[in-house]
C-alpha cells in the first residue's frame, strides 16, 4: 500500500493544537471536495489521533501526531489512490492549517 506523509508546523501550545484538531474528522467529512464516509477516529491520552475514512470508494487510514512545533499526519492509501497522493497530502495540509488558523 502506498503511504502519505504531511508535516505542518505550528507556533501554538500543544494542548491548544490538540483541542483544535479534534475537529479534523468533521472538517474532512463536511468540507472535502469528494464524498467522505465511514469516518472513524480515536484519540489517545497523549493527544494523538488514529483515523480512517473512505473517499471515492477508497479506504484511507493513518495517524496524526501532535508535537510541540509540528503536526505529523501519516498513513496508508490503496494503490488506486497513489496517483492522487499529492492532492490528498495537499488537502490534509490545507485542512490542518485551516483548523489551526
Give the Cα-Cα-Cα angle 3, 66, 80 (nearest 5 degrees). 15
* DSSP classification of residue 82: G
Q: Would you write out the chain's pLDDT as a tens digit for each of its 101 residues?
A: 899 999 999 999 999 999 999 887 777 777 776 777 888 999 999 999 999 988 888 888 999 999 999 999 999 999 988 888 998 899 889 989 999 98
Q: Which of 44, 12, 6 is nearest to 28 (CA)?
A: 6
Residues sharing a CB contact under 8 Å with residue 56, sequence separation 6 or more, in sequence order:
34, 35, 81
Instruction: With beta carbons less than 8 A apart as the criterion, state whether 85 and 4 touch.
Output: yes
Does the model's pTM come out above 0.95?
Answer: no
The domain segmentation of the chain, as residue ranges, is 3-96
The superfamily (CATH) of domain 3-96 is START domain (3.30.530.20)
Rounded to an integer, what distance in angstroms lies between the CA atom of residue 15 and that of residue 76? Answer: 26
Amino acid at each position: 500500500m502506498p503511504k502519505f506523509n504531511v508535516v505542518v508546523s505550528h507556533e501554538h501550545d500543544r494542548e491548544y493544537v490538540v483541542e483544535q484538531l479534534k475537529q479534523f474528522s468533521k472538517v474532512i467529512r463536511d468540507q472535502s471536495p469528494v464524498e467522505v464516509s465511514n469516518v472513524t477516529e480515536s484519540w489517545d491520552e497523549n493527544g494523538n489521533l488514529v483515523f480512517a475514512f473512505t473517499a471515492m470508494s477508497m479506504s484511507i487510514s493513518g495517524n496524526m501526531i501532535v508535537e510541540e512545533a509540528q503536526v505529523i499526519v501519516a498513513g496508508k492509501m490503496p494503490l488506486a489512490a497513489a496517483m492522487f497522493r499529492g492532492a490528498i497530502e495537499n488537502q490534509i495540509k490545507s485542512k490542518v492549517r485551516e483548523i489551526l488558523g
